[in-house]
């Protein structure tokens, strides 16, 4: 099993450009999450999904959109990138929701917006 | 509101014990976690403790929970250079939501 993979690993964007980050998991997990990690701060939840075809807003959803057309994939889109979106983005998945279900994390995507 | 706080840096010598501390705010959290992040990698669950426990030991790791003070600590015995990483404290106040601290960067000097 590859676990949770993310594409790309690094990206530099100019302000106003768009891009999509891809997350894939091969563990048949129902729940998937997108977080951002900024220096001196904990991970913050951007959007999440409780199953194929569903998405919901997390703590910091503005400026991002997501889609979960297939159970194994969770896409994070930036329609018009801003310097404030410079961050490391982590995708995670869990078998179910609930505190007893471990979240498995991908290796992250480092995004710089100039 | 919900918040998890931890110191940002800790430096220890190889062979010594490391103690990483954390405070949290939500007394209803049923699970408290420690995650480890190695360079260039995602977070990996290291250990967790139920809120009705005071202590949990797992090989070199000891987790202590003081519910009255909302204080969580992670002790790593016989710290090795391979333990150098960022350690995140996290709480789960309910449902699937997880609140993460900013992480403590552990430096282990040979």
pLDDT score recorded for residue A97: 84
The whole-angstrom separation of Cα B52 and Cα B14 is 33
Q: Does B12 touch chain A (CB under 8 A)?
A: no
| Burial degree of B39 (CB within 10 A; 0-12, 13-18, 19+) | exposed
pLDDT at B97: 82
Flag if B8 and A92 touch (Cβ within 8 Å).
no
The reply to whether residue B42 touches residue A94, judged by beta carbons under 8 angstroms, is: no
User: pLDDT at position B2, please?
Assistant: 64
A43 vs B contacts (CB less than 8 Å): 43, 88, 100
Rounded Cα distance, A96 and B51, in Å:
20
Neighbouring C-beta atoms of residue B72, cutoff 10 Å? 26
Indicate the pLDDT class of residue A112, thresholds 50, 70 and 90.
Answer: very high
Report, as ranges of residue numbers, the positions in chain B whose pLDDT lies below 50: none
| Alpha-carbon A2 to chain mean position | 17
Q: Do A42 and B8 touch (CB under 8 A)?
A: no
B92 touches chain A (CB under 8 A): yes
By percentage, how much of chain A surpasses pLDDT 90? 89
Contact of B2 with chain A, judged by CB distance below 8 Å, is answered with no
Percent of chain A past pLDDT 70, that is, above it, reads: 99
3-state secondary structure of B56: strand
Closest CA to A74 of A88, A86, A56: A56
Smallest CA-to-CA distance from B55 within B74, B69, B80, B37 is with B74
Task: Compute φ and ψ for A10, nearest 5 degrees.
Answer: -140, 150
Given this model, what pLDDT does residue B1 score? 56
CB A107 within 8 A of CB B42: yes
Residue B39 touches partner A, C-beta closer than 8 Å:
no
Q: Which of A4, A31, A107 sits opposite B96 (nearest CB)?
A: A31
Q: What is the pLDDT of residues A34-88, one digit of tens each?
A: 999 998 888 999 999 999 999 999 999 999 999 999 999 999 999 999 999 999 9
Distance CA A89, CA A105 (A): 10
pLDDT digits 0-9 by tens, B52-73: 899 999 999 999 999 999 999 9
> Does residue B24 contact residue B72 with C-beta atoms inside 8 Å?
yes
- The answer to whether B100 faces chain A, any CB pair under 8 Å, is yes
pLDDT for the residue B74? 98
**Which of A27, A43, A60 to probe by mutation at the B interface, max B CB count within 10 Å?**
A43
Q: How far is B103 from chain A (nearest CA, A)?
A: 7
């Amino acid at each position: 099993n590859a676990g949770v993979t993310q594409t790309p690993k690094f990206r530099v964007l100019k302000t106003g450009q768009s891009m999509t980050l891809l997350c894939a998991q091969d563990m048949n997990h129902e729940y998937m999450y997108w977080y951002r990690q900024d220096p001196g701060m904990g991970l913050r939840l951007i959007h999440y999904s409780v199953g194929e075809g569903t998405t919901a807003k997390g703590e910091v959803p503005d400026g991002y959109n997501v889609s979960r057309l297939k159970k194994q994939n969770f896409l994070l889109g930036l329609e018009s990138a801003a310097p404030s979106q410079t961050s490391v983005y982590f995708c995670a998945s869990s078998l179910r929701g609930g505190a007893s279900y471990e979240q498995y994390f991908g290796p992250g995507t480092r995004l710089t917006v100039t | 509101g919900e918040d998890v706080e931890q110191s940002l840096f800790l430096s220890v010598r190889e062979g010594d014990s490391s103690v990483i501390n954390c405070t949290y705010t939500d007394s209803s959290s049923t699970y408290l976690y420690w995650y480890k992040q190695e360079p260039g990698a995602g977070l990996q669950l290291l250990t967790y403790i139920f809120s009705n426990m005071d202590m949990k030991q797992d090989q070199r790791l000891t987790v202590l929970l003081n519910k009255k003070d909302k204080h969580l600590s992670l002790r790593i015995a016989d710290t090795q250079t391979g333990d150098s990483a960022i350690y995140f404290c996290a709480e789960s106040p309910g449902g699937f939501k997880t609140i993460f601290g900013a992480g403590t960067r552990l430096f282990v000097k040979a």
